[in-house]
Amino acid sequence: MRYLIVGFGNIGKKRAGVLGKKLAASVDPNPKTGSDYRNVKDVPLEIFDTAVLTVPQQNKLELIKYFLLNRKHILVEKPLIINKEEYKTLNQLATRNNLVVQTSYNHRFEPNMKKFTELLESGFLGKIYHGTFIYSFGNIQERIGTWREKEYSVLEEIAPHLLDIIINHLDYKGKDFVTFTARKEESNIFDHWVFSTSDHRIIVETSSITWKNTFLLELFGSLGSIHLSGLQKWEGSELIIRKRVFPSGKPIEKRIFRKGLDNTWKEDFREFEKNVNLNKNSLQNDLKLSKALAHIVLTAPNTKDPQRNFYRQILK
């Protein structure tokens, strides 16, 4: 498999480092990035099999169409936000040409995250009672004046990692979300969000004004609880597994701490190539997540942002 990276910024360069000799070329309109090309149409089609898109949301759809029409597989950085008609168009193009479009959620491949979701799928928790999911940064000042200040920022950038778990492992649908607060504290974008599942069992917070990167997943059920704190690439990741003792008492506890290199990008490429062989794309999941984001945005109180019109189209 030979790869073309489209968007040669921070994430694009990280992916290039992982690909090594599999990297055919890079493209970015900004000459300061040091990419091989400035425009995707200048790249010879015969030199690559897959396009890796690390570009802003507003550029993704046309690029995906271009590469599908030219018979290329696509790995795109999350999220891919699409409406029903866009889903039909992309799915038809991919199916007709036996191509795969996969959206990347690299946190899925964190070792403790894989164990967390395995426990969910195994029924370890029993009936799930409640939980709290938090993913936040402290880098709002780095966003001001950049393209990231023109979108919904952390809601579109990092909240999808949390929604990916809630939708795919807790069986909530796109309509099952409601927002408590969306605030603009230090910029023109919403830099702090708090929302929940519509039954209020799972509370979610995502923010860029917490001053320290935070990743926390906690779920409590009738048989026990699981707690995941941190990412391996930061200061380490700890998974705490607690089995409930009946009728009461201190739970039986197991702790797993992991720290080290971030291998999630490598695992992400491995999963992608596996799905290419299986001819399996993720567009249906993208539509589900897009609907969830739409409900979160449109139920936010006191927001009159023009971007709301974009999300209204998703629910039509």
Domains of the chain are: 107-264 (3.30.360.10)
Q: Name the amino acid, one letter, at 32.
A: K
Q: Can you give the pLDDT at residue 100?
A: 98
pLDDT over 70 (residue 303): no
Residue 19: partners with Cβ closer than 8 Å, 6 or more residues away: 3, 5, 269
pLDDT over 70 (residue 304): no
Return the structure tokens found at 191. 């830099």
Q: Can you give the pLDDT at residue 142?
A: 75
Return the structure tokens found at 238. 């700890």
Residue 135: partners with Cβ closer than 8 Å, 6 or more residues away: 154, 158, 159, 161, 162, 205, 206, 214, 215, 216
Q: Can you give the pLDDT at residue 144?
A: 73
Question: Is this prediction's pTM over 0.85?
Answer: yes
285 touches 103 (CB < 8 A):
yes
**Structure-token match 């690029």, residue found:** 63
Q: Can you give the pLDDT at residue 52?
A: 99
Average pLDDT over residues 49-53: 98
Mean pLDDT of the chain: 94
Of 252, 215, 256, 260, the closest CA to residue 236 belongs to 260
Q: Which residues pair with 254 in a beta bridge?
A: 241
Average pLDDT over residues 214-229: 99
Q: In angstroms, rounded to a whole number, what is the distance separating the alpha carbons of residues 295 and 304?
A: 15
Residue 232: partners with Cβ closer than 8 Å, 6 or more residues away: 110, 111, 112, 258, 259, 260, 261, 262
**Banded pLDDT at 308 (limits 50, 70, 90):** confident
pLDDT over 80 (residue 139): no
Residue 70: partners with Cβ closer than 8 Å, 6 or more residues away: 45
pLDDT over 70 (residue 23): yes
Average pLDDT over residues 278-295: 96
Average pLDDT over residues 30-41: 96
Identify the three-state secondary structure at position 256. Answer: strand
Q: In angstroms, rounded to a whole number, what is the distance separating the alpha carbons of residues 291 and 294?
A: 5
Residue 249: partners with Cβ closer than 8 Å, 6 or more residues away: none
Q: Can you give the pLDDT at residue 187?
A: 81
pLDDT over 90 (residue 188): no
Q: Can you give the pLDDT at residue 150?
A: 64
Average pLDDT over residues 301-311: 75
Q: Can you give the pLDDT at residue 1?
A: 94
- Strand 3-6 and strand 50-53: pairing? parallel
Count of CB atoms within 10 A of residue 209's CB? 17
Q: Where are the alpha helices (DSSP H) in the chain?
A: 10-19, 57-69, 84-96, 111-122, 140-143, 154-157, 159-169, 264-278, 283-298, 307-314
